[in-house]
Amino acid sequence: MKNLFLLLFSISLFSSSQVIAQDSGDRIIGIWEPSNGKARVKIEKIGTRYYGKIVWLKEPNDPETGKPKVDKNNPDEKLQNVPIKGYRLLKDFAFKSGDEWDGGTIYDPENGSTYDCVITMKDNNTLDIRGFIGISAFGRTDVWKRLQTQKK
Amino acid sequence: MRKTWLFILFTCPFLAIAQPDSTAEEDYSQYDNLDFADVGAKRFCTSKVLDLSPQKLISIGYDFQGPYQLQEDGGSKTDFDYSHGERLQLNLPVVSRNNIIIQAGLNYAAQRYAGSADTNAVLGRNLLDKGLTTLGLNLTIFKPLNEKNFMLFQGSSDLNGDYNFGNFLSPSYLKYSAALVYGWKKHERLMYGFGVSRTYRVGEMNYIPVFLYNYTAPNRKWGAEVLFPARAHYRRTFSSRSLLLLGYELEGQSYRMTSDSIYSYINRGANPAGTTPMNNPELRRGELRIRAVYEKSLKNFIWISAQVGFRYNYSFNVDEVPSGDFFRGFFGTQTYGMENVLGNTFYSMISINLVSP
């Protein structure tokens, strides 16, 4: 019985540290603006992973059609009519430790490409989003800024 | 009681992890009126316009030129059956921030010649024997000043000559080029700027104004990519994964020739032509490549680039450059050591590229 108690206590301790880690990972949740200012992305948590979807577009309509922009550059033809607004461009990020979330991907609707991605929180209001191909050296970092409701 | 405590201790962490799935439809208007949480944060313009041809992180290419003739000062001829060579480019982002982008690169280009030369065609024989090699490092800095204005700096140092890796050229022969542009980013489809450059694109050192113009039409089917006078292209975009460029590029360098038997014709009156060996001769090679370039994604980030065109010679003269370099410009009166005539020809180039995100 004593051994069982120790086992459960250990599991509990491990799980508790996970909770602390998860809470720390939740700092990334919020609304963010990529450097080009053309979109706003809401990062949220689903299960234990973090996702980011486009919730605002500077230019919501396609100038050619006058209709809401769709993901026409997607290499999968079946997805080319999916609206850009609401699209999940950040997927499957796990909180690693410290200020880093990794294991995810970022999708660029401008060219229909998906890149490996690591997110680093530089400070509470700044994210370095590094999309790369295979290894981090072959990549580009975009700096995202946190947004909040306008102060009145 | 103990069982109850165990249950609570064991299950609480998992309850804490559970989060609602927020995939339900939401009111997007709530995101219209937002400000930066960081009061001091600024927005900066980006370095590209929409649909710009993809930037190459790694490029491995092969260049081929058809037959042409070199007629040297003094009349000796060399008939090149073809010339060809490998090209390698490596560009890596060193710093990538909203307020500055710094990129470093490596450039290698070889030009080998095949054909036959007259006995006295010293330059032609030297090219057939040794070819030309360029090895260079470059740096690009994009500095946005705000949402509308930016500065662009490009600098490179190149070692050009008839050397190879077994018989390397002294770094003292490095040639330095640079360009500085001040520009405006009007919107996501248009950026332009004006600046100055020190360049060897016409073969010899020159200081010239430059004009940057990158544009994409509202229908995103065509655009222009211009860094005048270095290059200018009309771009036809077929999709986000294939495009066609029509235009030209100026290509050139000043190549240190290590041969002792390249003679000067500069003092035609005082000395018999072609009998005085030049002290540090440099081949001023500059050419205009009028071309069509088709670029297409083969798979994800691997792109192929195939170009065909006409190579028009601008300069293939030789200067004596005993120390440093000198400025002749378009209106200088300094006489060339050798004034040569190079024929024009068609060319083609193909490259496989890893393109940047």
Can you spell out the DSSP letters for B192-220? Answer: EEEEEEEE-TTSS-EEEEEEEEEEE-TTS
| Residue A14 falls inside a structural domain | no
| Residue A4 falls inside a structural domain | no
In 3-state terms chain B splits into helix, strand, coil percentages (rounded to 5) of 10, 55, 35
B84 pLDDT higher than 90 = yes
- Give the pLDDT score at B278: 83
Q: Provide the CB-side half-sphere exposure for B214 (13 A, CA).
A: 16
Give chain B's domain count. 1
| Residue B40 falls inside a structural domain | no
Size of interface A-B (CB pairs under 8 A): 133
- Give the pLDDT score at A152: 58
Q: Which residues in chain B have their CB less than 8 angstroms from residue A22's CB?
A: 16-17
CA-based nearest distance B48→chain A, Å: 10
State how far the Cα of A141 lies from the Cα of A127, in Å rounded to an integer: 10
Res. B19 pLDDT band, cuts 50 70 90:
very low
The burial class, CB within 10 Å (0-12 / 13-18 / 19+), for A66 is: exposed
Q: Which of A19, A54, A135 to mutate to test the interface with B (most CBs of B within 10 A)?
A: A19
State how far the Cα of B306 lies from the Cα of B258, in Å rounded to an integer: 34
B112-157 pLDDT, tens digit per residue, is 999 999 988 999 999 999 999 999 999 999 999 999 999 999 999 9
State how far the Cα of B40 lies from the Cα of B314, in Å rounded to an integer: 52
DSSP, res B324: S
Chain B residue with Cα closest to A53: B23
Look at the block and give the residue holding tokens 């992973």: A49
What are B191's strand-pairing partners? B185, B214
Nearest to A18 among B13, B44, B147 (CB): B13
- The domain in which residue A71 lies consists of 28-147
B263-296 pLDDT, tens digit per residue, is 777 665 555 566 678 888 999 999 999 999 999 9
Give yes or no for a contact between B140 and B41, defined as CB atoms under 8 angstroms apart. Answer: no
Question: In sequence order, what are the residues at sequence separation of 6 or more whose Cβ sits closer than 8 angstroms to the Cβ of residue B110?
Answer: B85, B86, B87, B131, B132, B133, B134
Q: Which residues in chain B have their CB less than 8 angstroms from residue A15's CB?
A: 10, 13-14
Q: Which of A36, A38, A95 to mutate to test the interface with B (most CBs of B within 10 A)?
A: A36
Write phi, then psi, for A12 (nearest 5 degrees): -65, -40
Q: Percent of chain B scored above 70 by pLDDT?
A: 90
Nearest to A147 among B21, B34, B219 (CB): B34
Look at the block and give the residue holding tokens 């004593």: A2
Question: In sequence order, what are the residues at sequence separation of 6 or more whose Cβ sits closer than 8 angstroms to the Cβ of residue B205?
Answer: B175, B198, B199, B254, B325, B326, B327, B328
Nearest to B35 among A15, A42, A150 (CB): A150
Q: Which residues in chain A have their CB less than 8 angstroms from residue B50's CB?
A: 110
- Give the pLDDT score at B14: 38
ipTM passes above 0.85: no
Cis bond leading into B13, ω under 30°?
no
State how far the Cα of A54 lies from the Cα of A60, in Å rounded to an integer: 11
The CATH code of the domain that includes B74 is 2.40.160.40
Q: Which residues in chain A have their CB less than 8 angstroms from residue B46's CB?
A: 35-36
Closest by CA to B146, choosing from A35, A121, A41, A125, is: A35
Question: In sequence order, what are the residues at sequence separation of 6 or more whose Cβ sits closer than 8 angstroms to the Cβ of residue B325?
Answer: B175, B204, B205, B254, B282
Nearest to B37 among A22, A63, A125 (CB): A125
Q: Which residues in chain B have their CB less than 8 angstroms from residue A132's CB?
A: 357
State how far the Cα of B243 lies from the Cα of B52, in Å rounded to an integer: 10
B302-329 pLDDT, tens digit per residue, is 999 999 999 999 999 999 888 788 888 8
Q: Percent of chain B scored above 90 by pLDDT?
A: 65
B101 pLDDT higher than 50 = yes
| Residue A58 falls inside a structural domain | yes
Whether residues A140 and B357 touch (CB distance < 8 A) is answered with yes
| Residue A37 falls inside a structural domain | yes
- Give the pLDDT score at B265: 75
More confident residue, B162 or B13: B162
State how far the Cα of B82 lies from the Cα of B113, in Å rounded to an integer: 6
B164 pLDDT higher than 50 = yes
Work out the mean pLDDT of chain A and round it to a whole number: 85
What region, left, alpha or beta, does residue A79 occupy, with left being phi > 0 and alpha being psi -120 to 50 degrees?
alpha
H helices present in chain A, as ranges: 2-25
Res. B22 pLDDT band, cuts 50 70 90:
very low
- The domain in which residue B312 lies consists of 58-355
What are B321's strand-pairing partners? none
Q: Which residues in chain B have their CB less than 8 angstroms from residue A108's CB?
A: 357
What region, left, alpha or beta, does residue A30 occupy, with left being phi > 0 and alpha being psi -120 to 50 degrees?
left
Whether residues A37 and B147 touch (CB distance < 8 A) is answered with yes
Question: In sequence order, what are the residues at sequence separation of 6 or more whose Cβ sits closer than 8 angstroms to the Cβ of residue B154?
Answer: B138, B139, B140, B141, B178, B179
Write phi, then psi, for B345 (nearest 5 degrees): -160, 170
Give yes or no for a contact between A22 and A49, defined as CB atoms under 8 angstroms apart. Answer: no
Give chain A's domain count. 1
Can you spell out the DSSP letters for B80-131? Answer: EEEEEEEEEEEEEEEEE-SS-EEEEEEEEEEEEEEEEE-TT-HHHHHHHHH-
Whether residues B10 and A8 touch (CB distance < 8 A) is answered with yes
Dig out the tokens for B77 from the structure: 């001829």
- Give the pLDDT score at B11: 41
| Residue B52 falls inside a structural domain | no
| Residue A11 falls inside a structural domain | no
Q: Which of A78-82, B17-21, B42-46 has the lowest mean pLDDT?
A: B17-21
Q: How many CB atoms lie within 10 A of CB A123?
A: 9
State how far the Cα of B198 lies from the Cα of B327, in Å rounded to an integer: 10
The CATH code of the domain that includes A69 is 2.40.128.520
State how far the Cα of B142 lies from the Cα of B137, in Å rounded to an integer: 17
Whether residues A140 and B34 touch (CB distance < 8 A) is answered with no
B18 pLDDT higher than 80 = no
Whether residues A147 and B354 touch (CB distance < 8 A) is answered with no
Write phi, then psi, for B67 (nearest 5 degrees): -70, 145
> What separation in angstroms does the CA of A60 have from each of A55, B84, B165?
10, 49, 55
Q: What angle do CA B155, B317, B325 make, to 5 degrees?
A: 45
Closest by CA to B283, choosing from B175, B195, B179, is: B175
| Residue B155 falls inside a structural domain | yes
Q: Which residues in chain A have their CB less than 8 angstroms from residue B33's CB?
A: 149-150
| Residue A53 falls inside a structural domain | yes
Give yes or no for a contact between A41 and A32, defined as CB atoms under 8 angstroms apart. Answer: yes
Chain A residue with Cα closest to B56: A138
Q: Which residues in chain A have their CB less than 8 angstroms from residue B98's CB?
A: 35, 142-143
Chain B residue with Cα closest to A66: B219
| Residue A79 falls inside a structural domain | yes
| Residue A120 falls inside a structural domain | yes
pLDDT per position in chain A (152 positions), as tens?
A: 566 655 555 555 445 445 555 568 999 999 999 988 889 999 999 999 999 999 999 989 988 888 999 998 888 889 999 999 999 999 999 999 889 999 999 999 988 889 999 999 999 999 999 999 888 888 888 999 999 987 65
